[in-house]
Amino acid sequence: MRPAGTGGAGQRNGEPAGQGGGTAPLHGPALFWIVFSAVALADRATKSWARRHLPRASIAATGWLNLQLVENDGAAWHLFSGQRWPLLAIALGTLILGFLQRRRLGFPSPAGQLALGLLAGGIVGNGLDRLFLGFVVDFIDLALPFYRWPAFNLADGAICCGAILLLFLGGGRGGHGAGQCQRR
């Protein structure tokens, strides 16, 4: 017989049944680094696959999704085309500033760390392309009925999702944005 609270069914380390026993939720720096690494690695892998397997001509995957290899030497929508080093400097500066200011911006929450991980992973993914290739590899081509989106990649998607999440969270204004409740 075991004394109450010493590891019987549903108990762990002297905790009453129904408490503990699970894994701790990811938060803080661990969540940031996991998301950052996953985005950067997945971006590198998908771009490597695209460069090996996709032709320059568009391949229809579905009625609205095409795969087409595009070498983008500019930014979104090919803006600032041919400006490799200034674009790389802006990306690096943004990454460093975001990293240095993350606590002051008020993003210790899991959602904030997720947003920053998405942004940083995307910035690094596209930055590595710019640094080593001189252009960013794009290959996802959305042809919606009302708009044909410019080709993009996983890093672009992560950057957009991270930016939207940051806006939803209030842009870092002390952590009291639309997505969080203020405590009184």
- Catalytic residue, from 43, 129, 138, 141: name it: 138
DSSP string computed for 75-90: SGGGTTTT-HHHHHHH
Strand runs (DSSP E) across the chain, as ranges?
A: 59-60, 65-72, 136-142
- Catalytic residue, from 43, 129, 141, 156: name it: 156
Instruction: Decide: 22 and 108 in contact? Cβ < 8 Å.
Output: no
Instruction: Decide: 166 and 115 in contact? Cβ < 8 Å.
Output: yes
Q: Catalytic residue at 138?
A: yes
Give me the phi and psi of 139, to 5 degrees please: -155, -10
Alpha-carbon gap, residue 135 to 71, rounded angstroms: 6
Structure tokens at 148: 């044909």
Q: Catalytic residue at 43?
A: no
Q: Which sequence positions are flagged as catalytic? A: 138, 156
